[in-house]
Amino acid sequence: MELEKKISLIIGALAVSLLASSPFLMGSYATYMLFLLLIFVGLSSALNYIAGFVGLHSLGNAVFFGIGAYSFALIARGNVLYAVILASILCILCSLVFIPMLGIRGIYFVLSTIFVCEAVRLLVTNLRDLTGGAAGVHVTPPPGYNFSQVYYFALIVALAAVFVGYVIRNSRAGLYLYAIRENEEAAAAIGVNTVKYKFLSLALSSIFTGLVGVVYAYYLLYIDPLTSFSVSWSLMPLFTIIIGGEGTVLGPIFGSITLIFLQEITKPLGEWYLTIFSAMLIIVALFFPEGIIGFITRAFARMRKAQKSNRK
Amino acid sequence: MKLTRKNLIICFIIVIYAILGCLSVTVRTPMFASQVVMFGILNGGLYAIVAIGFSMGITVARIVNFFHTDLVIFAAYIVFWLYLALNISPFLLIAISTLILFSLSVAMYKFPLLKANEKAQTMHMIGPAVLTAFGISLIIQNVMINFWGADARIIKVEFGSFDLYGIKIPLVRLITTFSAILLLTVIWLFLRFTRFGKAIRAIAQDPRAAQTVGINTYRLNMLCFALASATAGVAGGLIGMIYPFSPESGLRYLNLSATLVILGGLSIIGTLIAGLLLGVAEAFITCLLGAELKDLLATMLFIIVVSVRRAFGE
């Protein structure tokens, strides 16, 4: 066990240093792909707190993404530090709206979170005086703006999201969340405050999704309601979680790598790429229902069993 | 359980109508209000026909069919395309679109859907089911964009309109709503009086008990899902004659039909009544607040009803 931990630490440190040095080493396209990967890692790790650990497949996380983007563009006007604080506060406030829905289960939760996202998008599109309406908002670039700045910001957010996931996974609260996922009534019966812990994971999830929204707005310097409140900002992360393995810390990372990889190899197909890409996603999800991480751990377990029987 | 749900729905409807009634009387004349109500009723029949397919797929066949409304739009495109190519009456072409969707859904049920949904019911692993549903939805949207472009289209049929005591009614809308209600009646009679319908109702109540008395649940579920998708074929053709549609407009109908499923339950009459009421309420909101905000009503209603029902422990 000790050796495995050391190996995984070394691999992690190598990966982080590679990511950190990539703006100097790699070409602009490769760096852009890594940036996209970081955005997906951030989003899906954040979604994993609620979808993976608790089992509530929220597709409303796009709301927090949009709130992050809009708080950067509209209120903070390009000031990143201000935007980070503001987005966190606004996202926590907005996740209060979700509290009555936390009791719903299964597909009805999925549906109602999509509809929250739709409702917020409609409101933002129609409150023209407040939000600029469907035309969107331009941000004047802050002084000293360049891509590597955005890249490092994305790196910090993604690492923080993964780290928080790790902390939750290894804490008492994480155990409570697992208990709620497996059997909510039983968890409540032994004294877990289910609503409190569900809300806690949702609030954490909302903060990091909002921060990724800030990163996105900082990168594009232009936002509009259709793209920033699009359901795909919670749909694609949900895909990555399911592919990578629900409720694991590394699952979102592997899932995001798979997603970006599939996207890249299907791009030469031109306009048919989305069809083939979705078909591949479905096939991966059907034949690896526990995700890549589940598949790997099961393979390791089988190997270990074989070793033990050999020794005997 | 049934009583609380009914009470809740009635409360909501009364509140909505009280607000809308007050507003409409203060803003405009009664003539205007009755015109709005008429349009609402004409819309509501169409909403009900979309919703009934969605509800049959999700509650009886137990398939997470979030792509149902994309199938509706797909059917609208098929009718539109064949109408341009062959120039036959679109009401006949609806039969073709229905057949196409029926066979397509049988194929889809056999490969990805059954495997994706088998664990969703027993083990509550809804992840693969949800992913498959949205994956199919993305595929259908992409296919539509590639074949017919992203522009909004409409099936052009012109029948003129007539006056009913001063209320103007376009004939197309009357015909489409009438055919929708006719189809609903046929489905109702079918479920109520045939052996097949009885078996489907048994599966809806308890699939395992249905299996023990000798019902072939696999085949009936498949047929039920295919029938639900076939109603999407009819609904698509009818909706395409009234509203402009584009590849992305499936989401709007998903809002509507999910709301109707929650309000009306599995019962067809309940869905129809809920559809008519929602249609009328939407028509009022369109007139008073503007067309952009009318989608907000269905979404809000869904969220509130689901949360409140959960809070009452249903």
List, for residues B128-184, the tens digit of each pLDDT value. 888 899 999 999 999 999 999 888 999 888 788 888 777 888 888 899 999 999 999
pLDDT of residue B123: 58
Cβ within 8 Å, pair B306-A281: no
Q: Select from A55, A100, A285 the Cβ nearest to the Cβ of B307.
A: A100
pLDDT of residue A108: 85
Residues 28-87 of B with CB under 8 A from A: 58, 64, 66
Which range, of A263-272, B114-123, B237-246, averages the lowest pLDDT?
B114-123
Q: Which of B99-108, B114-123, B230-239 bottoms out in mean pLDDT, i.e. has the lowest?
A: B114-123
Is the pLDDT assigned to residue A3 strictly greater than 80? no
Q: What is the pLDDT of residue B1?
A: 37
Q: Which residues of B touch A100 (CB under 8 A)?
A: 307-308, 310-311
Establish, for the pair of chains A and B, how many residue pairs have beta carbons separated by less than 8 Å.
125
* % of chain A residues with pLDDT over 90: 35
Q: What ipTM was reported for this prediction?
A: 0.87
Q: Which residues pair with A223 in a beta bridge?
A: A137
The answer to whether A104 contacts chain B (CB < 8 Å) is yes
| Residues A247, A168: Cα–Cα separation, whole Å | 11
Residue A255 touches partner B, C-beta closer than 8 Å: no
| Beta-carbon separation of A115 and B302 below 8 A | yes
Tell me the pLDDT tens digit for each residue of A173-198: 999 999 998 888 899 999 889 999 99
CB-based contacts of B295, cutoff 8 Å, min separation 6:
A118, A122, B252, B255
Q: Does the beta-carbon distance from A111 to B132 stay under 8 Å?
A: no
Would you call A282 and B64 a contact, using CB atoms and an 8 Å cutoff? no
For A23-51, what is the mean pLDDT?
A: 90
Residue B121 has pLDDT above 80, yes or no: no
| pLDDT at A44 (0 to 100) | 94
Q: Tell me the CA end-to-end span of chain B in Å, nearest whole number.
A: 7
**Candidate from A149-153, B80-84, B272-276 with smallest mean pLDDT:** B272-276
- Residue B2 is predicted with a pLDDT of 46
Is the CB of A110 less than 8 angstroms away from the CB of B303? no
In tens, the pLDDT along A161-172 reads 999 999 999 999
The C-alpha of B229 sits at a distance from chain A's nearest C-alpha, in angstroms, of: 19
Please tell me chain B's helix, strand, coil percentages from 3-state DSSP, rounded to the nearest 5: 80, 5, 15
Beta-carbon separation of A272 and B293 below 8 A? no
Question: What mean pLDDT, rounded, does chain B reach?
Answer: 85
Given a cut of 60, is residue B38 above it in pLDDT?
A: yes
> How large is the greatest C-alpha to C-alpha distance in chain B, in angstroms?
61
- Spatial contact of B57 and B258, defined as CB atoms under 8 Å apart: no
The three-state secondary structure class of B170 is strand
Min Cα separation A288/chain B (Å)? 9
Residue B28's pLDDT is 65
Within 8 A of A275 by CB-CB distance, chain B residues are 138-139, 142-143, 146
Q: Given a cut of 80, is residue B194 above it in pLDDT?
A: yes
**Looking at beta carbons, which residues of chain A come within 8 Å of B293?**
122, 126
Q: Does A127 touch chain B (CB under 8 A)?
A: no
Structure tokens given for A142? 């802050």
Give the model confidence (pLDDT) of B104-118 as tens digits: 999 999 888 888 887
DSSP structure class, residue B293: G
What share of chain B has pLDDT > 90, as a percent?
A: 36
- Give the pLDDT confidence score for residue B24 in this predicted structure: 66
Please list, in sequence order, all residues whose beta carbon lies within 8 angstroms of the beta carbon of residue A246, skipping any fewer than 6 positions away. Answer: A48, A51, A52, A55, A290, A291, B127
